[in-house]
Amino acid sequence: MSSIRFIPALCLSLLALLALLAGPQVHAAEAPSSRPEQWAQSVETQYNLYQMSPTLYRSALPDKGAVPLLQQLKVATVINFLPESDASWLSAPDINQVQLPYRTNHVDDADVLKALRAIQSAEAQGPVLMHCKHGSDRTGLMAAMYRVVVQGWSKEDALNEMTQGGFGDSSHFKDGIRYMMQADVDKLRTALANGDCSTSVFATCSVKSWFETVGVSKPLSH
C-alpha cells in the first residue's frame, strides 16, 4: 500500500524538478538581449520601424495606417528605394516623397551617393524615413553606408548592426555586404562633400554631366 502511494509522489517530485530546471531557461529566453545603444532602436514592430538618429528612421513598406504615426514622429520626407511609388498609401501633403529605386545586386557608388545626398538634404527639413519592402536589404545597405560615410562608423560596426540588428533575414544581406567590403569610404565621403555624382569620372552619370557641361559652355554656332 505504501509503495502504491510512493509512485505518484515520485512522479510529482520529478515533475517539480523538471519545472525548476525549465524555469531558468524560460526566463532566459524571455529576457531581452543586450542591444548597443548606438544601434537603431525599435519604434514599431508592425512596420519594422526603427530610429537611427533624431532625424532618421528606417522601416519596411508602410501603409495608410502608418501615416498618423509618421506625422506623430514629425517625419517630413519619406525616401523609397522601391520601383513602385508611395502615392498609393501616402497622400499627406505635409510629407514629401522621394523615390530612388535600386537593387542591391546592382548597386554602385552613384546609387549610394544619390541616396545619402537625398537623406542629408531632406534632414534639413525635418525627420526622414527611408524604406524598401521589408526594411532589411536595400534599406539596410543605405543605413549602413550612412553610418560609415556620414556618421563615421567603422565598416565592422555598421555591418554588425546591419546583420545582427534584427531587421530581417541575414541571408538577404550578402550583396550589401559584398558592396560594403569593397567600397572606398574616403572617396565616397569626398564625392558627397564635393557634390559629385560618383567616385569615378568614368561612371555613366559623370560622363553625362561632362557632356552637359561641355554642351552648355560651347559657343553657339551661327
pLDDT of residue 53: 98
pLDDT of residue 22: 36
What is this structure's pTM? 0.79
pLDDT of residue 19: 35
pLDDT of residue 4: 44
Which residue segments constitute the domains of the chain, with CATH numbers given? 41-193 (3.90.190.10)
HEC profile of the chain = CHHHHHHHHHHHHHHHHHHHHHHHHHHHHHCCCCCCCCCCEEEECCCCEEEEECCEEEECCCCHHHHHHHHHCCCCEEEECCCCCCCCCCCCCCCEEEECCCCHHHCCHHHHHHHHHHHHHHHCCCCEEEECCCCCHHHHHHHHHHHHHHCCCCHHHHHHHHHHCCCCCHHHHHHHHHHHHHCCHHHHHHHHHHCCCCCCCCCHHHHHHHHHHHHHHCCCCC
Residuewise pLDDT in 10s, the chain (222 residues): 444 444 444 343 333 333 333 333 323 233 346 899 999 999 999 999 999 999 999 999 999 999 999 999 999 999 999 999 999 999 999 999 999 999 999 999 999 999 999 999 999 999 999 999 999 999 999 999 999 999 999 999 999 999 999 999 877 799 999 999 999 999 999 999 999 999 988 777 866 655 555 565 444 444
